[in-house]
Amino acid sequence: MGTKTTEIIIATMLVSSLAAANLAMADGGVMGWSKKRAAVQIPPTSTRFEAELQPSPANAGQGLEGEAEYLKRTRPQGTQERFGAQVEVKIPNTLGIDESTPSIILDLSRGGTSYARCTLEFTGVEQGREHGQLVRKVEFRVALEQNTPISGPLPSVKEIFGTCGGILPAVELSDMADVPDAATSILTGTFKQD
């Protein structure tokens, strides 16, 4: 082979190698790397606030107890929120609350301003023993869910028990939950992060 033939063969091999390397880079690259941008992955987050509802001093002996909870989970597919509250009232009591009471109210406020009024519906009578005595309590609940997808249909509130006027309250730290009776509160609590 002559010098000129050798130079042409080397040049052809070099061009072929470069073309193959460019083709490999365009098709996923060397070592499997791709020119395509990877989707940004948002790590799931979860926020939970709880309020333990305590009786007011005037109603301390009425056998009242309750709790409220807000949970928000954010995932790459969207956001899931839940709000729930439960109140139990020992019967008989001087408040006139018993199994014929269809519902009670729970007010939510932030900084002294009310932002949601929820109706807790009667869900049943619970019986048990306390200090050897048979105790009956009426139970009221509200339970709501809302799923908000990243794309797709608009979210709607699913009311499992009770209602908050068609919304799911987005509770924040230090919000107040209050069960009123006429002009006073019978139960109250402050939301804390769990």
Alpha carbon distance 111, 109 (integer Å): 7
Per-residue confidence at 8, pLDDT binned at 50, 70, 90?
very low
pLDDT at 27: 44
Token code pair at residue 148 = 């908000």
CA distances from 126 to 26, 55, 91, 134, 136 (A): 68, 19, 10, 11, 6
Higher pLDDT, 76 or 139: 139
Query: Percentage of the chain with pLDDT > 90?
Result: 58
- pLDDT over threshold 90, residue 22: no
Beta strands per DSSP E along 34-112: 45-55, 64-75, 78-91, 103-110
pLDDT of the residue at 89: 94
* Mean pLDDT, residues 134-162 taken together: 92
Residues 6+ apart with CB under 8 A from 110: 172, 174, 175, 176
Residue 108 has pLDDT above 70, yes or no: yes
The pLDDT tens digits of the residues spanning 29-72 come to 433 434 444 456 668 899 999 999 999 998 888 899 999 999 99
Alpha helix positions (H), the chain: 3-26
Q: Given pLDDT bands bounded at 50, 70 and 90, which one contains residue 106?
A: very high
Say if residue 17's pLDDT is above 90: no
Distance CA 88, CA 59 (A): 13
Does residue 167 register a pLDDT over 90? yes
* pLDDT for position 1: 52
Q: Is the pLDDT of residue 11 over 70?
A: no
* For residues 76-100, average pLDDT: 93
Percent of the chain past pLDDT 70, that is, above it, reads 78
Mean pLDDT confidence for 138-146:
97
Average pLDDT estimate for 122-147: 93
Query: Within a 10 A sphere around the Cβ of 34, how many other Cβ atoms?
Result: 11
| pTM of the predicted model as reported, rounded to 2 decimal places | 0.75
